């Protein structure tokens, strides 16, 4: 008999809207206040126009986001689905311990804490409408010293019921939009340039997401020496717009 290939459940309209909500720069987690080293790259002249800014962000998508945070979101999404608290804690520790500078670690912890508060607010509204409280939010909040952004985001997107690939696309797009907005402010660039950069990121984003989903634990990494150097310099940069 021919082999039957199971397909993921289709994305519902409600899940799609919730993914858009989570990807929005208006999500109150402070993502707009970080440039993840981009501002330091501008300060040193490595990024100075649309072409160099676009290349920088695309490289960061594939060299750091796909191999670290997106892969963690994928792993944590699976762990939340099966209630594996040990795996959740391991992934959270990995994110914290592989942040190569203080400001990058503080960023992931601050955004993780903020998402916990958002999840509590959303869950309280659902409980008021008759739903059962989601005990996993308390489990997330209890991670020490703080829940990290990828692990918290994984729970948020798992709660939507969206398939894993779409969940990761939401994460990647939210990151990309914040990075493009950072480039517009820091280089500076116009809005049309920002839209062209975002189009280039969208074209390569599915590849990065598929890479992250298939990445074995042994190949997950957060090793980006130049980004780490620039981030460390940014911590003492004389004048800056962003927190990282």
Say how many residues make up the chain: 244
What's the CATH number of domain 39-234, 2.60.120.10, 3.40.140.10, 1.10.760.10, 1.10.4190.10? 1.10.4190.10
Residue 94: per-residue pLDDT: 97
* Interatomic CA distance for residues 152 and 62, integer angstroms: 21
Helix axes 69-82, 164-186, angle to 10 degrees: 150
* Interatomic CA distance for residues 117 and 93, integer angstroms: 20
Residue 196: per-residue pLDDT: 98
The residue ranges of the chain whose pLDDT is under 70 are: 1-9
Residue 178: per-residue pLDDT: 96
Sign of CA dihedral 184, 71, 19, 83: negative
Residue 4: per-residue pLDDT: 45
* Interatomic CA distance for residues 46 and 43, integer angstroms: 8
> Which pair of tokens denotes residue 135?
């005990």
How buried is 6 (Cβ within 10 angstroms: 0-12 exposed, 13-18 middle, 19+ buried)?
A: exposed
CA neighbor of 57 nearest in space, from 204, 206, 238 = 204
Residue 241: per-residue pLDDT: 92
Residue 67: per-residue pLDDT: 97
Residue 158: per-residue pLDDT: 97
Residue 11: per-residue pLDDT: 85
Residue 44: per-residue pLDDT: 95
Q: Can you give the pTM of this predicted structure?
A: 0.94
* Interatomic CA distance for residues 94 and 117, integer angstroms: 22
């Amino acid at each position: 008999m021919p082999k039957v290939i199971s397909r993921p459940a289709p994305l519902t309209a409600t899940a799609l809207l919730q993914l858009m909500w989570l990807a929005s720069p208006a999500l109150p987690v402070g993502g707009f206040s970080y440039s993840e080293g981009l501002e330091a790259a501008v300060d040193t002249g490595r990024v100075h126009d649309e072409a160099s800014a676009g290349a920088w962000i695309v490289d960061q998508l594939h060299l750091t986001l796909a191999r670290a945070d997106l892969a963690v979101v994928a792993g944590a999404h699976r762990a939340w689905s099966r209630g594996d608290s040990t795996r959740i804690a391991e992934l959270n520790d990995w994110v914290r311990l592989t942040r190569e500078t203080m400001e990058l670690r503080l960023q992931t912890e601050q955004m993780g804490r903020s998402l916990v508060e958002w999840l509590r607010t959303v869950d309280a509204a659902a409980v008021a409408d008759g739903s059962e409280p989601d005990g996993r939010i308390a489990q997330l909040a209890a991670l020490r010293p703080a829940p990290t952004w990828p692990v918290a985001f994984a729970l948020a997107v798992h709660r939507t019921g969206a398939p894993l690939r779409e969940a990761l696309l939401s994460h990647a797009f939210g990151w990309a939009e914040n990075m493009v907005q950072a480039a517009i402010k820091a280089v500076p660039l116009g809005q049309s340039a920002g839209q062209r950069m975002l189009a280039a990121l969208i074209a390569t984003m599915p590849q990065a997401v598929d890479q992250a989903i298939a990445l074995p634990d042994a190949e997950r990494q957060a090793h980006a020496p130049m980004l780490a150097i620039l981030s460390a310099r940014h911590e003492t940069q004389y004048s800056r717009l962003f927190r990282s």
